[in-house]
Amino acid sequence: MPYQSIQQLLKTAPVGTVVTVKGWVRTKRESKNAVFIALNDGSTINTIQAVAQPDQLSDDLLRLITTGACLSVTGELVESQGSGQAVELKISDVLVYGPADPDKYPLQPKRHSLEFLREIAHLRPRTNTFSAILRVRHALAFAVHKYFNDNGFYYLNTPIITASDAEGAGEMFRVTTLDATKPPLTEEGKVDYSQDFFGRETNLTVSGQLEGELGAMALGKIYTFGPTFRAENSNTTRHLAEFWMIEPEMAFHELEDNMALAEDFVKTVIRYALDNCADDLAFLDNRLKEEEKTKKKEEQSELSLLEKLRFVVDNEFQKLTYTDAIEILLNSKPAKKGQFQYEVSWGVDLQSEHERYLVEKHFKKPVILTNYPRAIKAFYMKQDDEPATNDRGQVFGPTVRAMDVLFPGIGEIIGGSQREDNYDKLVARMEEVGIEPDALWWYLDTRRFGSAPHAGFGLGFERLVLFVTGMGNIRDVIPFPRAPKQAEF
């Protein structure tokens, strides 16, 4: 039989047979009657306890068995005497693959701060918290592909290097083939960027959407799931310089279909995690409960992590227009008491504090906001025919068929829209915002030839993982975070 991980072994638990378990020592405990070694191999949050008689292992060997050392342990699997675990290993043989000097190994059996663990991002997956997060992240990624495959979508890979900068979603990283130590200079003595990417100016993609639209206008329903780059220079807990974005794009879908799909999609993948990551989510739930206890009573969350996830999966999201949301915000306590950092009025882009007020204080559930002002959204969003009005008949500016999905603790998790499918309107809008239509001739071809109503959205994968794991900082839900001052490992 091929080697089985601890996760596989605990599933079948063949009591009475001799098995070999390989993994890293979490703890070693010595008593008069026995030596207990807790081993974990990352396949599960659970450890397997290996037990030896005190005189069975030599002093030299015992000295090497310390937290972090990697061992191969062979023995009979027996029913556990102690509580907590059903089985344990009666050691017959121990091999030390690699010791870990206890004076130097940075991970000790105690709770380390997340800040400290970020500094040793190369080792933190060996902790319970991070291995749990990474396994949940894996399950969510699998659920994403499964959802789209089950619903007739095709997985489309869009380019990472691109000359298109039309999205305007954020600051871009430039791609260059230049030798930075001696870059060619122009006659004015400036760096000659015309040599970037074989003579073209190119960037790392900020979104696969425009290419995704090309896919939808040929295959019907597609999705992308790939790395996305934004030179975000603010140090927030919700932004990374490199993150993974999921972008479905669907022909023959309007805004309402887009909203329904987004809601069904996030609920389905969260449900998948609830059904398939029970041990890891229970661990993260407990971790959070302990953290909550250290907070002041009024700052403690009403729902536990698992309750929050079940609530999202079981309840309909609140839907309302941007204009109605502004009315609510203007009439809110924080607005009246001047407690928002950013002032609210029709036309402003909502800040995370406003989004979180709507979700956490007002509706107490996820919210889908629609029909945003045209001026604060990208050029490709379908224009509404009538300007926005409130129920007192006040008329505001033009809007687009945009939607943002807002989640508790996070704010925006999804941004999407129905796309402008009218060639003339699209070109006029591009000219208005200063985008050269010729530069996007390939994109405009989808409107020139066989245009169709279509819609799509982008979900930042790490924001989803952040929500599902209950973590507070996006740098803690990606194995190797890329952010200002964090690029080495």
463 contact, one of ligand ATP, Mg ion, none, CB 5-8 Å limit per kind: ligand ATP
Look at residue 90 and give its three-state secondary structure: strand
**97 contact partners, CB below 8 Å, separation of at least 6:** 22, 70, 71, 72
Which C-beta is closer to ligand ATP: that of 61 or that of 231? 231
SS3 content of the chain, % helix, strand, coil (to 5): 35, 25, 40
Q: Are 98 and 105 in contact (CB under 8 A)?
A: no
* Binding flag, residue 248, ligand ATP (CB under 6 A): no
Segment contacting ligand ATP by CB under 6 A, of 1-9, 86-94, 268-276, 413-421: 413-421
What is residue 310's three-state secondary structure?
helix
What amino acid occupies position 383? Q
Size of interface with ligand ATP, in residues (CB under 6 A):
18
116/106 Cα distance (integer angstroms): 10
Closer by beta carbon to ligand ATP, 65 or else 378: 378
Q: Which of 230, 253, 354, 401 binds ligand ATP (CB under 6 A)?
A: 230
Nearer to ligand ATP, 412 or 420 (CB): 412
The residue within the footprint of ligand ATP, chosen from 107, 245, 281, 468 (CB under 6 A), is 245
Asked if residue 415 binds ligand ATP (CB under 6 A), the reply is: yes
Provide the sign of the torsion angle of the four alpha carbons 92, 97, 100, 101, taken in this order.
positive
Stretch binding ligand ATP (CB under 6 A), from 122-130, 141-149, 316-324, 406-414: 406-414
462 binds, among ligand ATP, Mg ion, none (CB under 5 to 8 A by kind): ligand ATP
Tokens of 179: 């030798």
460 touches Mg ion (CB under 5 A): no
Q: What is the dihedral of CA 238, 161, 172, 213, to 10 degrees?
A: -70
What distances in angstroms separate CA 4 from CA 26, 32, 68, 277, 371, one per listed residue? 19, 32, 20, 19, 53
Residue nearest to Mg ion (CB): 415
Q: Minimal distance in Å, beta carbon 9 to ligand ATP?
A: 37
Tokens of 98: 């690699």
- Contact region with Mg ion (CB under 5 A), list: 116-124, 148-156, 407-415, 432-440: 407-415
Sole window of 48-56, 92-100, 142-150, 410-418 interacting with ligand ATP (rule: CB under 6 A): 410-418
Give the Cα separation of 283 and 301 in Å (integer).
Answer: 17
Helix (H) or strand (E) holding 212: helix 209-219
Kindly tell me which residue out of 135, 239, 382, 419 binds ligand ATP, with binding defined by CB under 6 A. Answer: 239
C-alpha to C-alpha distance for 350 and 259, rounded to whole angstroms: 19
The interface partner of residue 476, options being Mg ion, ligand ATP, none and the CB cut-off 5 to 8 Å by kind, is none
**Residues of this chain, 408-447, that bind Mg ion according to CB under 5 A:** 412, 415
User: CA–CA separation, 139 vs 279, rounded Å?
Assistant: 13
Tell me which residues in 423-462 interact with ligand ATP (CB under 6 A).
458-460, 462
Instruction: Catalog residues that contact ligand ATP under the rule CB under 6 A.
Output: 169-170, 230, 232, 238-240, 243, 245, 412-415, 458-460, 462-463
Instruction: Catalog residues that contact Mg ion under the rule CB under 5 A.
Output: 412, 415
